[in-house]
Amino acid sequence: MPMKTPILLTAQEAEVIRALRKKGQISRMQISDITGWSKAKTSIEIRTLIDKGYLMEKDEGLSEGGRKPKLLKFNDQLGFIVGIDIGATSIDVLLADVFGNILQHVSEPGDVRQPPKTVLAQCIILVDQILKLQGCQGDQILGIGVGVPGPVDFSRGVLVAPPLMPDWENFPIRSFLKEAYPTAYVVVDNDVNIMALGEQRYGDAIGLDHFIFIKIGTGIGSGIISNGKIHRGSNGCAGDIGHICVDKQGPICRCGNRGCLEAMAAGPAITEKAIKAAQNGESELLLRFMKENEGIMTPELVSAACREGDEAALEIIRSSGQMIGDVLASLVNFFNPSHIFIAGGISNFGNHLLVAIKRAVLRRSLPLATTDLQINFSHIGAIAGNKGVIALVLEYLFVDEDKPFLSV
């Protein structure tokens, strides 16, 4: 069925969908309780949603005697959801049903520094591939979620001054994909926001309303969930913590400023410090590892040296952890999250990094803010983006017609 997308709902319909999304399936009585509608009004609203093809009835409710109440759920014939998770060096494409169950997944190397048309054409080939695997057509796609490693103006769906992918500046990702899949609603967001969503929907953050998801790799960024929703701020760049200044005299960051957290503590900074430690005689182990790796230092080698107990490598990691922890402490005081989840390549450093981060946060945060605070690695870190890009579509597929960029 060709569908106007996103699926625009009246405020009342949005209320039913919101309740349904929280519970998965729901009875008429529950809808009436949640919305405060009369029995008659509830029936009318539900009928409309069923007629429009969004909901269906299901005969599995429990009842104390008498006829079993009919439960309502999303219509599983509504269509499919596609997720495109574009990383710096890889592309993952996923197909899911309207409940968010992932049905197909394909992945291949990519290079985000290439022009957007080239990368998105590669994405379209992969989408066609998963449609074929599932035996369905492009017009059955309800929504496409796209995750990109750069700052996104969410309401326009474009990247703004993306350091990793300068050619993508203001490129109309949505209309490019809509040309290939005209019935699909396309949502674009940055990679860490979608990882936070993935954690909230599929990971350890299910049911959590206030948390920070931080990705530490080549760069450092965070996704903020506040009151159960992603907090994007007024232009979409909330959570870009990698460019908080740690040292005004520090090295120049790729953003052009000096001493940003990212320039001081992320992967390249770790590698650079390790090269110095190897060359100035501080660490024979790092020097040996580097020589064995054709003279190239990598964060993985620093991690391996940490596991061997190399003091110089440990100090590099402790120092990164401390700087990240100091910044997080300010965020904890400011935002009071219940949890911080850490993911990204550098999180493979394990406990040494985690302990240093925790120590700095506890030392510098207000006691009340850390009473229940938990800081841990994300268990789904490696696939949080894949999961999150599906969650992103589900979050924005049904929208209140008066507030198209607020999820219901």
DSSP string, 294-353: TT---HHHHHHHHHTT-HHHHHHHHHHHHHHHHHHHHHHHHH--SEEEEESGGGGGTHHH
**Residues engaged in binding Zn ion (CB under 5 A):** 243, 253, 255, 257, 260
Least distance from Zn ion to the Cβ atom of residue 261, Å: 8
Least distance from Zn ion to the Cβ atom of residue 221, Å: 11
Classify residue 260 by its DSSP letter.
Answer: B
Residues 4 and 404: their CA atoms lie apart, in Å, by 13
Q: Which is nearer to Zn ion, 212 or 261 (CB)?
A: 261
Chain centroid to Cα 326, Å, comes to 23
Asked if residues 90 and 96 have their Cβ atoms less than 8 Å apart, the reply is no
Strands 141-148 and 80-86: parallel
Least distance from Zn ion to the Cβ atom of residue 397, Å: 34
Q: Which residue matches tokens 């440990």?
A: 314
Q: Which is nearer to Zn ion, 253 or 316 (CB)?
A: 253
Q: Which is nearer to Zn ion, 69 or 163 (CB)?
A: 163
Q: Which is nearer to Zn ion, 102 or 255 (CB)?
A: 255
φ, ψ for residue 259, nearest 5 deg: 70, 30
Least distance from Zn ion to the Cβ atom of residue 379, Å: 29
Q: Which is nearer to Zn ion, 21 or 243 (CB)?
A: 243
Q: Which is nearer to Zn ion, 17 or 260 (CB)?
A: 260
Neighbours of 214 (CB within 10 A): 28
Least distance from Zn ion to the Cβ atom of residue 161, Å: 12
Least distance from Zn ion to the Cβ atom of residue 381, Å: 23
Residues 347 and 299: their CA atoms lie apart, in Å, by 11
SS (H, E, C) 168-213: HECCCHHHHHHHHCCCCEEEEEEHHHHHHHHHHHHCCCCCCCCEEE
CA distances to 68, 132, 189, 195, 249 from 223, rounded to whole Å, are 43, 33, 11, 7, 28
Q: Which is nearer to Zn ion, 120 or 264 (CB)?
A: 264
Least distance from Zn ion to the Cβ atom of residue 255, Å: 3
Instruction: Give the amino acid at 331.
Output: L
Residues 310 and 377: their CA atoms lie apart, in Å, by 23
Q: Which is nearer to Zn ion, 151 or 345 (CB)?
A: 151
Least distance from Zn ion to the Cβ atom of residue 260, Å: 3
